[in-house]
Amino acid sequence: MSTTDQRVAVVTGAARGIGAATAVRLAAEGRAVAVLDLDEAACKETVEKITAAGGTALAVGCDVSDEAQVEAAVARIVQELGAPTILVNNAGVLRDNLLFKMSVSDWDTVMNVHLRGAFLMSRACQKHMVDAGFGRIVNLSSSSALGNRGQVNYAAAKAGMQGFTKTLAKELGKFGVTANAVAPGFIATDMTAATAERVGMGFEEFKAAAATQIPVQRVGEPEDIANAVAFFTGDAAGFVSGQVLYVAGGPLN
C-alpha cells in the first residue's frame, strides 16, 4: 500500500493510557492516526511520540458524547488525514459508587461517554468504511461487564458495548467491515491509579494486590491491549467479527 492510500485510524481517548498505546501501535503498523481526546492540547504527547518514530498523526479535540462535536471531528479527520476505515472506541470514564449512593448524573455520564460515544463515532465513521468496502471497528469493553461491585453504571455500559459490537458485526459485515470488542482486566493506567486513590491505597500496593489474583501474576500494561487491537484491525483479521476477547492474564468466566 502506498502512502497515498495509507489507512486512516481513529482512536478515541488517545491522550493517555490504553488509547495512547493503541494509537502508537497502530501508527507503527503504518496507519495514519487521528489521536482524539476531550482536549486537543492533551493529545500532543501521543502525536509527538508517533511523529518522532516517523509516523503520521493528527491531534483532535472532541467530546465523543456530543453529536455536533463528533460530526465536526470526523469531517476534519477526512479533510486532514483522509477517510477513516479503522475506529477504536476507547474513550472512557469511571463514576463508581454503590447503587444506593449512585447519582443520576454519574449513571448518565458513564452511559454517555461509553455507549452514546461509541454509537456516535461508529455512525459517523461507518459511511467511510462502507464507501471503501473495508472497515475495522474495535470497542473497549471490560472484565467489569461480567459484574463488579460499585460499578453498576460501568458494568452495564461495558456489557452494552458487547451487544453493540455484535450488532455492528451483523449489520456491517456485508460491506467488508468487522466489529470486535476487547475486554481488558486490570491495566495500569491513570484510571486504575484513580481507583487506588479512591480506596485509599498506594498504586504500587494496589497493583501488587491485584497481581496475586491474576493467573499470570502481573497486572496488564496498555501495550497488552494495543497488541489485541492491532490484531483485530489488521487486514488479516477479516474473518473474525462480533467477538469479545478478554485480555486479563487469565480466564474470567
Rule CB under 6 A: say whether 187 interacts with ligand NAD. Answer: yes
CB of 24 to ligand NAD, least distance (A): 13
Rule CB under 6 A: say whether 93 interacts with ligand NAD. Answer: yes
160 bridge partner residues: none
Would you state the torsion angle of the CA atoms of residues 225, 122, 164, 177, taken in this order, to the nearest 10 degrees?
-80
CB of 149 to ligand NAD, least distance (A): 15
User: Residue 32 or 226: which CB sits closer to ligand NAD?
Assistant: 226
Q: Is 246 a catalytic residue?
A: no
Rule CB under 6 A: say whether 191 interacts with ligand NAD. Answer: yes
Rule CB under 6 A: say whether 24 interacts with ligand NAD. Answer: no
- Residues sharing a CB contact under 8 Å with residue 177, sequence separation 6 or more, in sequence order: 126, 129, 130, 134, 135, 136, 137, 168
Rule CB under 6 A: say whether 189 interacts with ligand NAD. Answer: yes
151 bridge partner residues: 97
Rule CB under 6 A: say whether 38 interacts with ligand NAD. Answer: yes
Q: By 3-state DSSP, what share of the chain in percent is helix, strand and coil, each rounded to 5? A: 55, 20, 30
- For cell 485509599, name the residue: 200
Q: Residue 203 carries which side chain, given as an amino acid letter?
A: F
Q: Which of these ranges, 26-34, 60-68, 76-84, 196-204, lies near ligand NAD under the rule CB under 6 A?
A: 60-68
Rule CB under 6 A: say whether 18 interacts with ligand NAD. Answer: yes
Given phi > 0 = left and psi -120 to 50 = alpha, else beta, which region is 203?
alpha
User: Residue 16 or 127: which CB sits closer to ligand NAD?
Assistant: 16
Contact between 35 and 58 (Cβ < 8 Å): yes
Site residues for ligand NAD, window 126-165 (CB under 6 A)? 140, 142
Rule CB under 6 A: say whether 113 interacts with ligand NAD. Answer: yes
User: Residue 128 or 158: which CB sits closer to ligand NAD?
Assistant: 158
Query: d(Cα 236, Cα 230) in Å, to the nearest integer?
Result: 10
Determine which residue in the list 19, 135, 160, 249 makes contact with ligand NAD, applying CB under 6 A: 19
CB of 5 to ligand NAD, least distance (A): 28
136, 175, 143: which is closest to 161 by C-alpha? Answer: 143
Give the active site residue among 154, 164, 186, 206: 154
CB of 236 to ligand NAD, least distance (A): 24
User: Residue 141 or 178: which CB sits closer to ligand NAD?
Assistant: 141
End-to-end alpha carbon distance in the chain: 40
Contact between 157 and 115 (Cβ < 8 Å): yes
Binding site for ligand NAD (CB under 6 A): 12-13, 15-19, 37-38, 63-65, 90-93, 113, 117, 140, 142, 184, 186-187, 189-192
Catalytic residue annotation: 154
